[in-house]
Structure 1
Amino acid sequence: MENKRGFDDIPIRPAANEADCPCCGSRLKWKNAEGLARLELEAAGHPVPVAAGTMFIDPHAHMISRSTDDYQAMARAGVVAVVEPSFWLGQPRTNLGSYLDYLSTILGFEKFRAGQFGIRHYCCIGLNPKEANNQALAEAVLDALPTFAVKEGVVALGELGYDEQSAQEDKCLRVQVDLAIELDLPIMIHTPHRDKHRGTLRTMDVLAEHRFDPGRCVIDHNTEETVREVLDRGYFAAFSIYPHTKMGNERMTEIVRRYGPERIIVDSACDWGVSDPLAVPKTAVLMAERGIAPSAIRKVTYDNALAVYGLSGAMKQSDWLDPEPIDQSTLFQGNSVLRGGQTPRIEAPQRSMGDIRIA
């Protein structure tokens, strides 16, 4: 049987801030800032040391599709808050009831589940563009959205936008933009996977027609072909670190180097597909290794997401700096994240503004 070594087995040389990787023997280096937390963060196949107390926000994470192990790993890596946008489940919903149950789940049980691991959970509510093409379902969902959009923890309407760029999608986008204006909520935009550049420009033109403030809108799933025009028009430009299909973390690092950190947001968009709930902290580690300034890394992995979604009034830094105690003995409608015989975690998380750093 192969003898596997763990992170605690790595021989560390404090003076040089180096260690031998247990899997390949190569040298790992890091900056030493007020102590080192031995957290295992797999970046490029290596356990990467991360400074204790580092905080991140993942502002696009479909946690309903993820496991409790993912929540635990995210919390260990420093993710203190996630935003869960409404999205397509991988298979078309056939009736209004299934859509409403889904929205209720991400607003209710998913918030509870995240809190059991010390992560604050928020939502974006909306009719996603892929399902907008089912006209009967779309009209029923649009009628129900105002009821859900005013619930606790809603920070924006989203994901909105285009998929096939059909007339029906355009109609549903405009209805939801008007609703966001009426409710004074920010918007999260989904840019299409096909013909992305044209779809992104068309989306921004619609928002301009409705006189929606660009500073209250996150346009997500950007690539190199869209970033300049999105930033030039004053929008927040988000990037989903979703290798091979959207944006890799090496490309992301170069975008921040080229355009700077203002109004740029890094997220994971982790869902039921091959995706990574640790994409935000991994990208932060790579940026630090590639010489991006800590202040810039903090902006794109924390500050900018808080700035735009905080406009809703539902997301505040105090939510995780002064959080409710973690008590895994509590139940949500009779349900627990634990199974028989497991010991509940009961503790009061301690965080402060001084903990927010990249090292």
Structure 2
Amino acid sequence: MCGIYDLTEKDLQPLTYTPAFLDKIKGMRFFDPHVHMTARTTDDYQAMADAGIVAIIEPAFWLGQPRTGVDSFRDYFSSLLGWERFRSSQFGIKHYCTIGLNSKEANNEKLAEAVMEILPQFIYKEGVVGVGEIGFDDQTALEEKYYRAQLELAKEAGLPVQIHTPHRDKKKGTQRSMDIALEHGLEPHMIIVDHNNEETVKEVLDRGFWAAFTIYPFTKMGNERMVEVVKQYGSERIMVNSAADWGISDPLAVPKTAALMHESGIDLNDIHLVTYANAVKAFAQSGQIDEADFDLAKNIDQSEKFNGSSILRGGQQPRIDKNTTIIR
């Protein structure tokens, strides 16, 4: 019988295998327009790249516990524009973000006022494709106040808005979110209404907004339900995301949903629209997205550093792709 001391370095390496669902989506490209990679590992990035995800959007959100000062927001926003974009690039995935004051922390009025003062420093930065995720959580007066203020920022900047719809009393919160956006003179085609379900989708689409669906275990939408939504409503202005974060979530939700749609007989063009093209079209209204950049991102050099920091640790060897004309 072997003991633990008989293990070799090779035995301790991660298992490498190809998940069965990848066979169903071979050759497809995916865009996850809502995923919180700050809360995920480099293994997740590698798995996402292997599954065909070529680009992502990371919305600013809360960290699981309340922030206590505006500087924590400043550092967080900076990390979305800096370190996280770099980390994503090390796996060949193009990283964008949306910047905003999340609805949960909008209820701390003193802090919210300070955050509103710094938002203009960030929303005009390269790679920012919208103001988000903003909207309602408990549907309080303060949430509405700062939602309205950020709609005005988005309008001034000419940026799309990524709306977080509440988990409680979702239909009312979704309707109110759309009503207020229209009150502020924003066009529906500039608004991505997120976290939809069967109760909200028809009105969102009928009113001309983008309808985003989050495939999140046990709480939002399962991908079997998502298949039925696409069968009923088609693919126009519908997009799928994972919203993977520090909770029980799946960063491969988009390609897995594509695989299930394919297995269920949904047309490949419809799958392409809801898992890639619609998200590109909606957020490209920011003027920040060029699909050619997705291919450039595939030129990976993991020996690169960001402000002196690397994704590599110890004696790990960098991956350096040779399909580039640049010689270093």
Quick check: TM above 0.5?
A: yes
Counterpart mapping for 1:186-265 below 5 A: 186-265=160-239
Q: Which runs of 5+ in 2 are unaligned?
A: 2-15
Contact in 1 for aligned 2:35/2:243 (Cα 8 Å): yes
Q: Who is 2:13 aligned against? A: none
Name the counterpart of 2:244: 270
- Counterpart residue identity of residue 204, structure 1: M
Give the drift of 1:167.
0.6
The CA deviation at 1:342 is: 1.1
After superposition, residues 1-359 of structure 1 pair within 5 angstroms as 40-41=18-19, 48-323=22-297, 325-347=299-321
Give the superposed CA RMSD.
Answer: 1.5
**Aligned equivalents of 1:173, 1:312: Cα separation in 2:** 19
Distance between the aligned counterparts of 1:114 and 1:279, measured in 2? 18
Describe the SS at the equivalent of 2:159. coil
Out of 341-350 and 298-307, give the one that drifted further. Answer: 341-350
Q: Partner residue of 1:32? A: none
- CA shift at 1:315, angstroms? 1.1
CA offsets 1:121-167 (integer angstroms, 9 cap, x no match):
00000000000000000000011001100111000000010011111
Alpha carbons of structure 1 residues 320 and 207: separation in structure 2 relative to 1, 3 Å = same
Q: What amino acid does structure 1 have at the position aligned with 2:317? A: T
Contact 1:220 / 1:237 at 8 angstroms: preserved in 2?
A: yes
The higher-RCO structure (CA 8 Å, 6+ apart) is 2
Q: 1:185 to 1:232 in 2, by over 3 A?
A: same
8 Å CA contact 1:324–1:348 kept in 2: the answer is no
Displacement, 1:322? Answer: 3.4
Residue 7 of structure 2 corresponds to none
Partner in structure 1 of residue 8 of structure 2: none
Separation of aligned partners in 1, 2:303 and 2:94:
18
Q: CA deviation at 1:324?
A: 6.3
**1:340, distance to aligned residue in structure 2 (A):** 1.7
Offset of residue 323 of structure 1: 3.3
Instruction: Name the CA shift for 1:39/1:179 in 2 (closer, same or farther; >3 Å).
Output: farther
Percent identical pairs in the alignment equals 58
Moved over 6 A (4+): none
Task: Give the structure with the higher percent strand.
Answer: 1
Q: Which amino acid aligns with 2:133?
A: E
Higher helix proportion (structure 1 or 2): 2
The total of aligned residue pairs comes to 310
Structure 1: gaps (5+ residues): 2-37, 351-359
Give the SS at the match of 2:155.
helix
